[in-house]
Structure 1
Amino acid sequence: MRIHVLAFDGLFDTGLATVLDTLSTANELAAAGGEPRATPFEVTVIGLRRSVRTGQGLAVPVTPVGRGAPPDAVVIPALGAKQPGPLRNRLARPDILEAGALLREWSGRGTLACAACTGTFVLAGSALLEGKAATTTWWLAPLFRELYPRVALDESRMLVNSAHCVTAGAALAHLDLALWLVRRASPALAALTARYLVVDPRPSQAAFVIPDHLAHADPLVERFEHWARQRMARGFSLTDAARATGTSERTLARRLHAVLGKTPLSYFQELRVERAVHLLQTSRYSVEQIAAQVGYADGVTLRSLLRRKLGRGVRELRANAAGTAG
C-alpha cells in the first residue's frame, strides 16, 4: 500500500512522528513474521515546498509532489496551530490552498484521503468532505462548523470513515488513524501493532471534551451554559432557558446548533454527564446520590447514560480516577 504523508511548514511534530512510527512498526512486525501475509506500507513524506520545518523547528526531509501515479492513501497530519485565530491564518496560506487542489485531483483518481486533528480543516477546505460525516479536534468544533457548514460533524467520535475520506479527532488520534490504515490491510497486524505500542481502542473523544470550553466560543451559548449548570438538578425547560438568556427559543436552538451541533436539550444532558463524571471521580457519593444531583430519577438511568455516551461504566470511571491519583 503506497501512502503519502503530506507535510507543511509548522506541522504538529507528534502527529507526523506518530503516523510514521506506527506504520514503520507495523512493517517491522510483519517482516519479523508477526503477520507475514500483510503487504508492506510504502510511506513517503511529501511536500508542496522544497523544505519543511515542524512547529518545533525540526527540518523534515520531503519528496516533492510529482506527476506520477497517485498514492493509495494520503495522510494529512495536524497543523501546529491550536487555537482558532492562528489556525485561520494557517489555512489561508498558499501551500494549504494548493493542497486542496492536489487532494481533489488524487481523490478523483481513487486515493483515500485521511486527516487527523487540525489536518481535518485542510481536508474540509478541499471540499471533499462536503455532505459527508467527519470528526475533528473537539475544542475547534465551533470553528469547523463555521467554516464548513455542509460537513456533518460529530466531534465526539474518535474516527469517522465516510465515502473515501477518513477523519480522526484530536492530537493523539493520529495513532488511531494510523492503526486504522494498518487494520484496513490486516486486522491481525493492527491488533499486534497496538499491543506493541500499548494502545487501547478509543472509539470516542466524548470522555475528553470540556463542554464549557466549547460554550465560550459564543456569548449566547455561554449564557445558556451558565443557566444550565444552575438548573441541572431541576430539569430542562427551553422556555425558561430562552427567557434567562434573553433570546427566543428559536434563536437559542439555532445558535446551539451552529456552534456546537447540538440541541439545547442534548447540550444540557452533556453537561449533566460531565458533572456526574466529576462527582464519580472526586467524591464518595453513591450513584443514586449523584443521579439525584444531576437530575436523573435513579442510578440505573445514569449508569445507562454513561455507558452509552462514554463507552465506560461507573466502575471504570472510578478506577481510572483512582489510578491517576495513584
Structure 2
Amino acid sequence: MKIAVLAVDGVFDTGLATMLDTLATANELAVMQKMPSPRFDFRVVGVRKTVRTSLGLRVPVQEAASVRRPDWVMVPAPGTKMPEPLLLALAKRESQDAMEQLRRWHRGGARIGAACIGSFLLAESGLLDGHDATTTWWLGPLFRRRYPNVALDENRILVPAGDFVTAGAAMGHLELALWLVRQVSPALADMTARYLLVDTRTSQAPYMIPVHLAQADPVVQSFERWARERLHEGFSLEAAAEAMNTSKRSLQRRMESVLGKSPLAYFQDLRVERAVHLLRTSHQDVEAIATEVGYADGVTLRTLLRKRLGCGVKELRRAEI
C-alpha cells in the first residue's frame, strides 16, 4: 500500500510522529510475525521543499507533485489549536497548494484520510462536501459554520465516508493510522495496538468540555449558564426560550446550527458532566448524585453513563477516562 503523508509547515509534531510510528511498527511486526500482509510504503511529502513542525523541527519531505498516485493520502493536523490562527493558516498559499494537490490526487483515484485539525484542510478543499466527517471536538462549532455541506459528528473518533475517513482530536492520528492498518489486516492492527498500548475508543464524548463548546456563540453561552443552575430540575424548552428572550423554534435552530444538537441534548451533556465531576471529586453515593443532576434514581444515571461514556461508575470513581 502506497501512502503519502501530506505535511504543511507548522504540522502538529505528535500527530505526524504518531502516524509514522504506527505504520512503521505495523511493518516491523508483520515481518517479525511472518504475516502475509503487504508492506506500508509511506513517505512524508510536502508542497514546499522543507517543512518545519509546530515546535520548529525540520522534517525531510518528498515533493508532493512527484508522487504520482498514492493509494492513500494521510493529512496530519496543522499545529494550530484555536480558531483565529487556524483560519490564518488555511488562508496561506501553502495550504491552498496542498488543497489543490489533494484534489489532484483524488481525481487520480487516491483515497484520503485526515485527523484532528487536518480535517479542516480536507473540508476547505471542498472534497468533503456531501460526506459525513468528524474533527477535533472543541472546533466543532467553527467546522459546522464554515462547512455547512459536510455532515459533522464530532462525537465520533473515526468516520469513514466513501473515499474519505476523518478522525478526532490529537490522538485521533493514532486511531486513523490503526484504522488504515486494519483495512489490510485486522490481526496486524490488533497486534500493533497492543505493542503501542492503545485502548481504542469509538467516541470523543468522554473528553468534551461543554463550556468550551458554548463559548462559540453568545446565545449558546447564555443557555449554558441558565441550564447549569437548573440541572436538578426537569428540562423545559419553553422556559429556556423565554429566558433567552427568543422563541422555542429559534433556540432549537440556533443550538442545532452551532452544536449540531438540540437544547435538550446539550442539557443532558451538562448533567453528565456534572455527574462525572461529582463521582470523581465527592463521596456522595450514586443515588444522591442522580438526584442532584435531575435523574429519578441511580439506576437511570448508571445506564446513561454507560451508554454515553462507555464506562460505569466504578471506572469513573477511579478516573480511568
Counterpart CA distance in 2 for 1:20 and 1:281 is 36
C-alpha displacement of 1:245? 1.6
Mapping for residues 1-326 of structure 1, pairs under 5 Å: 1-33=1-33, 36-66=35-65, 69-320=68-319
Deviations 1:147-197 (A, max 9, x none): 101111111111111111110000111111111111111111111111111
* Aligned-partner SS, 1:204: coil
Counterpart CA distance in 2 for 1:167 and 1:67 is 25
Runs of at least 5 residues in structure 2 that lack an aligned partner in the other structure: none
* Aligned-partner SS, 2:212: helix
Counterpart CA distance in 1 for 2:92 and 2:215 is 27
C-alpha displacement of 1:68? 5.3
* Aligned-partner SS, 2:318: helix
Q: Does the Cα contact within 8 Å between 2:76 and 2:116 map onto a contact in 1?
A: yes
C-alpha displacement of 1:103? 1.5
C-alpha displacement of 1:317? 1.4
Which deviates the most, 283-292 or 212-221?
283-292
Counterpart CA distance in 2 for 1:248 and 1:10 is 44
Runs of 4+ in 1 over 3 A off after TM superposition: none
In the alignment of these two chains, the number of paired residues is 321
Runs of at least 5 residues in structure 1 that lack an aligned partner in the other structure: none
Alignment-mate amino acid for residue 7 of structure 2: A
Counterpart CA distance in 1 for 2:84 and 2:172 is 22
Counterpart CA distance in 1 for 2:203 and 2:67 is 37
Counterpart CA distance in 2 for 1:16 and 1:129 is 22
Counterpart CA distance in 1 for 2:104 and 2:63 is 16
The TM-score with structure 1 as length reference comes to: 0.96
Deviations 1:25-67 (A, max 9, x none): 111111112x521111000111101111111111110100235
Counterpart CA distance in 2 for 1:99 and 1:105 is 10
* Aligned-partner SS, 2:273: helix
C-alpha displacement of 1:110? 2.2
* Aligned-partner SS, 1:88: helix
Counterpart CA distance in 1 for 2:60 and 2:146 is 32
Alignment-mate amino acid for residue 97 of structure 2: E
C-alpha displacement of 1:17? 0.5
Which deviates the most, 241-250 or 41-50?
241-250
Q: CA RMSD for the aligned pairs?
A: 1.3
* Aligned-partner SS, 1:231: coil
Q: Does the Cα contact within 8 Å between 2:47 and 2:65 map onto a contact in 1?
A: no
C-alpha displacement of 1:69? 3.2
